[in-house]
A = this chain, B = another copy of it.
Amino acid sequence: MDYKDLQAFLAISTHLHLGQASQQLHMSASTLSRRLARMEEEAGARLVERDSSPLQLTHAGELFRQHAEHTLESFQQLRSAVSTQVSDLSGSLTLFCTVTASYSFLADLLARFRERYPNVELRIHTGDAADAISRVQSQAADVAIAARPDVLPEALSFKTMAPSPLLFIAPRGLNTVPQLARAEIDWSQVPMVLSESGLGRTRVDRWFAARGMTPHIYAQVAGHEAIVSMVALGVGVGVVPELVLRNSPMASRVRVLSVEPELEPFAVGLCAATEQLQSPLLQALWKTARL
């Protein structure tokens, strides 16, 4: 039994849905299923009632949830009580991060980092993904949570935390975008809502170029988040990373189109100047990211 298992179980008992829990945990549903099976094996009892959807905790499961909660809290408390690597480091780090990444990665990362290095002042800037890399290059930020660019500038280092596919999304209503109704979609006619710039835009442009077309751009916006909203309103088809879609309140108003070939997925992670990686502050953050 691993503390990761305990966390996983808490996620399961919150969502009561393996697929959703697995997303929160950044792992596949099959992995989570197997972890759960192993937990049940080790606990010696069925913890989750699978007969129904949503899932339901058994009595044993409820007891186990309490055990997990209590144990993790106890460990958390222990860590903050004894962390000695604490006071050594101080200074400040400027971290740039997209709004979306701030939902899914930033919280975890910061919680761990602040606990260990409370004396490090963190300045967090949120903004558009397209800016992330340039902010690091221009030293406006020490580190960014961003998607890995196709070619990483020589002076930068990158550490992937999770992949996120790049998706075509359309309004849910089938006839909102009439160009999609045809059997063979003529993509050059489909109104697109795209980022003004950045990696996502580059990949979309390349995808169209590979088909010998240019996209019919209906709107260009700064920031992926707005794309979901505009698509939900029915103005056209958009392209966003899965991570953005998942965290959008509009997610249920749009649908994902499967296209062939797929756009190359994003790899979301930490990015910093290689040279700066020697600095204790950055090393600390780098190390914190993997656990």
Contact = CB atoms under 8 A, between A and B. Distances in A.
A246 to B, nearest CB: 28
B291 A84 contact: no
Nearest to A46: B84
Contacts of A64: 78, 82
A78 B84 contact: no
Identify whether the interface residues of A are mostly helix, strand, loop, or mixed: helix
Contacts of A43: 78-79, 82
A134 interface: no
A291 B42 contact: yes
A46 B86 CA distance: 12
Nearest to A59: B82
A82 B43 CA distance: 8
Contacts of A82: 43-45, 59-60, 63-64
Q: Which of A2, A45, A71, A82 has the most CB of B within 10 A?
A: A82
B83 A45 contact: yes
Contact of A74 (B2, B3, B71, B85): B71
A115 B2 CA distance: 21
A211 B93 CA distance: 71
A291 B2 CA distance: 14
A67 B77 CA distance: 10
A285 to B, nearest CB: 15
Contact of A63 (B2, B81, B116): B81
A116 B44 contact: yes
A1 interface: yes
A2 to B, nearest CB: 5
A218 interface: no
26 contacts: A1-B75, A2-B2, A2-B3, A42-B291, A43-B78, A43-B79, A43-B82, A44-B83, A44-B85, A44-B115, A44-B116, A45-B79, A45-B83, A45-B84, A45-B85, A46-B84, A59-B82, A60-B82, A63-B78, A63-B81, A63-B82, A64-B78, A67-B75, A67-B78, A70-B74, A71-B74
Please give me the 4 A-B residue pairs with the lowest Cβ-Cβ distance, nearest first: A60-B82, A44-B83, A45-B82, A1-B3
Given A46-B84, A71-B75, 17 more contacts: A1-B2, A1-B3, A1-B75, A2-B2, A2-B3, A43-B82, A44-B79, A44-B82, A44-B85, A44-B115, A45-B84, A59-B82, A60-B81, A63-B78, A67-B74, A67-B78, A71-B74
